[in-house]
């Protein structure tokens, strides 16, 4: 990202925030412009918003639109990532609301995941299509950018905000929630949290050459777990989720402040 004290060399760090459920608008952003663009893949979920936060220039995109109206399986992930790439973004911090599978992750927990399992289907999931010049196979061993993850974790530590370092995100198709048996399967597969938007977003970011990391906030116990033993009530833990979201946003500001300090 570019900050007040950045050098020209920092331009390659231009950062975007993709806001998810519970983060459609970013009040701390002093908006400088709003870009309505259409990519080869169609229009992104919302206009790209550019602004200043803690003196740094950042982009913001509301994944579900503003107001929140686009369901996870209907999001044009390709247009969102292509639009960010086209305006010069090189790093993405994605916010995600998730269900907690691991008992150690109650509502309100903030996680910087390091693993991904993909159970989505029928989504446009790659830029490698019939018109592509060549068939490319991206490396996806570590789906979240280790460098950007490290910066988020360091920023959280510096700000004294508790976040869980690592965990596997399972991406499900939605929009329905999972059955208890599906969650037991995800758990056996090694998933710690479950959400509906991490894929194909993370893979498209990798294809586009963007460093992508996630701040996931637990909204509820996943189906069949803890308070969701009988049923999932998505807003039953609203207060805990709101607190977690506020903490995740603080981590983001701490990341920007750290960059500003090094500019």
By the criterion CB under 6 A, which residues form the site for ligand HPA? 97-99, 172, 177-178, 194-196, 219-220, 222, 232
Q: Are 61 and 19 in contact (CB under 8 A)?
A: yes
Ramachandran area for residue 65 (φ above 0: left; ψ -120 to 50: alpha; else beta): left
Number of residues assigned to the chain: 263
Could you tell me which of 109, 77, 93 has the C-alpha nearest to residue 19? Answer: 93
C-beta closer to ligand HPA: residue 80 or 172: 172
Could you tell me which of 212, 225, 71 has the C-alpha nearest to residue 142? Answer: 212
C-beta closer to ligand HPA: residue 120 or 172: 172
We find the least distance from the C-beta atom of residue 156 to ligand HPA, in angstroms, to be 21
Spatial distance between the Cα atoms of 105 and 176, rounded to a whole number of angstroms: 21
Phi, psi of 45 (to 5 degrees): -60, -30
Closest residue (Cβ) to ligand HPA? Answer: 99
C-beta closer to ligand HPA: residue 128 or 246: 246
We find the least distance from the C-beta atom of residue 177 to ligand HPA, in angstroms, to be 5
We find the least distance from the C-beta atom of residue 98 to ligand HPA, in angstroms, to be 5
C-beta closer to ligand HPA: residue 76 or 220: 220
We find the least distance from the C-beta atom of residue 242 to ligand HPA, in angstroms, to be 14
């Amino acid at each position: 990202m570019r900050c007040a004290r950045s050098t020209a060399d920092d331009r390659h760090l231009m950062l975007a925030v993709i806001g998810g459920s519970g983060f459609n608008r970013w009040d701390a952003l002093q908006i400088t412009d709003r870009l309505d663009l259409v990519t080869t893949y169609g229009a992104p979920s919302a206009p790209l918003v550019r602004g200043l936060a803690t003196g740094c220039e950042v982009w913001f995109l509301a994944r579900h639109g503003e107001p929140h109206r686009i369901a996870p399986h209907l999001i044009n992930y390709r247009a969102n990532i292509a639009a960010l790439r086209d305006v010069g973004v090189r790093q993405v911090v994605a916010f995600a609301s998730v269900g907690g599978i691991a008992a150690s992750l109650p509502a309100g927990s903030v996680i910087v995941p390091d693993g991904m399992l993909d159970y989505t289907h029928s989504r446009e999931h790659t830029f490698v299509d019939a018109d592509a010049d060549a068939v490319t196979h991206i490396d996806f061993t570590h789906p979240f950018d280790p460098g950007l993850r490290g910066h988020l974790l360091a920023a959280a530590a510096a700000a004294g905000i508790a976040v869980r370092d690592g965990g596997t995100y399972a991406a499900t198709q939605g929009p329905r929630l999972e059955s208890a048996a599906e969650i037991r399967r995800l758990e056996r597969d090694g998933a710690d949290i479950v959400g509906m938007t991490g894929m194909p977003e993370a893979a498209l970011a990798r294809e586009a050459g963007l460093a992508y990391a996630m701040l996931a906030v637990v909204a509820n116990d996943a189906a069949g777990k803890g308070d969701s033993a009988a049923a999932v009530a998505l807003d039953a833990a609203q207060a805990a989720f709101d607190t977690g979201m506020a903490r995740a946003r603080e981590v983001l500001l701490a990341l920007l402040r750290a960059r500003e300090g090094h500019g």
